[in-house]
Amino acid sequence: MEVEMPNGKPGSILVLGGGIGGIQAALDLAESGFKVYMVENKYSIGGVMAQLDKTFPTNDCSICILSPKLVECGRHENIELLTGSEVIGFEGEAGDFKVKILEHPRYIRLDKCTGCGDCAKACPVDNRPNIFEELLIKRTAAYRLFDQAAPSAFVIEKLGEPPCRARCPLHVNAVGYIQLIKAGKYEEALALVREKNPFPAITGRICTHPCESVCDRARFDEPIAIDYLKRFVADYELKKYGSFQWDLTKDEPKGKSVGIVGAGPAGLMCAHDLLRKGYDVTIYDALDKPGGMMYAGIPSYRLPRDILFGEIELIEKLGGKFVLNTVIGKDIKLSELREKHDAVFIAIGAHKSRKLRIPGEDLEGVWGAVEFLREFNLGKDVKVGKKAMVIGGGNAAIDAARTLLRLGADVTILYRRSRKEMPANPEEVEEAIEEGVKIEFLVTPVEILGENG
């Protein structure tokens, strides 16, 4: 039976609040033929009545009294439960209101959840305060308020985006994989990393980890070693299986091809994502091997070549093709690429050092850090003297200094600001000092002098 309001429209009533009072009101109205919408900001109805015998001495079991009402309310054809919701606006007049309701996500589908609790058993986040139990015990992030809750579906608690994830350029779920590592689920943690970052072994060694600069743990002692944990799970897989184990699933072929110019980080990431989506991808690069600055700019002591090329192999496993030793404009024209492919992505990078703009920087024996590292990493003969000075305090400067040290030079870094202001990774600076690199701070060269060649 459906009741009509005085204006002739089918009657519906909003009950705000899912405590025992709201439940009884909803049942009475529903039995009278009204369509009832019950809005409750928690993810289950029942209010505090289920806790009554926990806080007030009584001979009755409050849940035994409440449960039949919960079941009846959940099953009544005239009652629609809107849990995890709040009223954010309404307009109109008595008998003809329009209400705007904001429904917060549960992150678990109501129509699919059977209430089995397997998600809570598998959830690695097990330190959340249990409000229902008056904070006496902890619960998991996947939870149900109490066993007899209505609806019986579980919900996942999410407290916004963590600062570490927000700061990460790829928005990798650091909190998620750290919790999985904590639970000993290393392979699941690695799979979570790879949802956003297909090269965890590489980035685990060279990433500047901006996530750690905003880690909340630093308020108590020091940031969590997020980057090293990523490296740990990637190395764990490599040690366990002897090779990287990838999920090679792809979308159905699109029948479209994309040419990518540059096999550095940007080109490889673009290739990976396009291959996953079903596109044919060909990557062109001027060097003899893929990797871009990871190959030509970063020394092997920081990024071992077996790790670098081992992870890049994923691109070929997914069906990508590399065309190496190919310079665009010399070996093949850009116009030819545009004719050959449906789209072209340019990822050529920045392979030149910045000039100091001081006299003498063009003298023989004066290198830009990028050019010096490139020559060294490509196996070319690089001549250095007994003493070497490196000007600058960035990562390239530290890499150049440590490389010069390995070539037998006595190395000093000149930096115009303080150590605290050095843009290089602090751990890289510390390692350079431990290896024997000397650093002079608050020093600015004004001229480079040459004598006897």
> What average pLDDT does this structure show over 351-374?
90
Q: What is the CATH number of the domain that holds 172?
A: 1.10.1060.10
Q: What is the CATH number of the domain that holds 310?
A: 3.50.50.60
Q: First-to-last CA distance in the chain?
A: 102
d(CA 67, CA 75): 12
**pLDDT band, residue 56 (cuts 50/70/90):** low
d(CA 360, CA 353): 16
Question: Which pLDDT value is given to residue 134?
Answer: 83
Question: Which pLDDT value is given to residue 49?
Answer: 86
The residue segments making up the domain with residue 420 are: 369-441
Look at residue 53 and tell me whether its pLDDT is greater than 80: no
d(CA 294, CA 314): 16
In a domain, 3, yes or no: yes
pLDDT tens, 130-178? 988 888 899 999 999 988 889 999 999 988 889 999 999 999 999 999 9
Highest mean pLDDT among 43-52, 124-133, 272-281: 272-281
Number of alpha helices (DSSP H) and beta strands (DSSP E) in the chain: 17, 16
Domain-ending residue, one of 296, 314, 346: 346
* Token pair of 379 as six digits: 């196996």
Q: Say whether both 83 and 51 belong to one domain.
A: yes
Question: Which pLDDT value is given to residue 58?
Answer: 66
Q: How many domains does the chain have?
A: 4
Give the torsion through C-alpha atoms of 166, 167, 172, 175, to 10 deg: -70
Given a contact cutoff of 8 angstroms between Cβ atoms, the answer to whether 119 and 148 are in contact is: no
Q: Say whether both 90 and 193 belong to one domain.
A: no
Nearest to 177 by CA among 252, 228, 116: 228
Residue with tokens 């963590």: 162
Q: What percent of the chain has pLDDT over 70?
A: 96
Nearest to 169 by CA among 213, 125, 111: 213
Look at residue 6 and tell me whether its pLDDT is greater than 50: no
Q: Say whether both 11 and 134 belong to one domain.
A: yes
Higher per-residue pLDDT: 443 or 58: 443
Domain-ending residue, one of 112, 141, 159: 159
Question: Which pLDDT value is given to residue 451?
Answer: 78
pLDDT tens, 105-120? 999 998 899 999 999 9
Examine residue 151 and say whether the peptide bond preceding it is cis (omega within 30 degrees of 0): yes
In a domain, 379, yes or no: yes
**Alpha-carbon distances of 224 from 160, 192, 217, 229, 422, rounded to whole Å:** 19, 18, 7, 9, 21
List of residues 6+ apart from 154 with CB closer than 8 A: 106, 108, 113, 115, 117, 119, 120, 142, 143, 144
List of residues 6+ apart from 373 with CB closer than 8 A: 296, 297, 298, 299, 396, 399, 400, 403
Distance, C-alpha 56 to centroid of its chain: 46
pLDDT tens, 228-285? 999 999 999 999 999 999 999 999 999 999 999 999 999 999 999 999 999 999 999 9
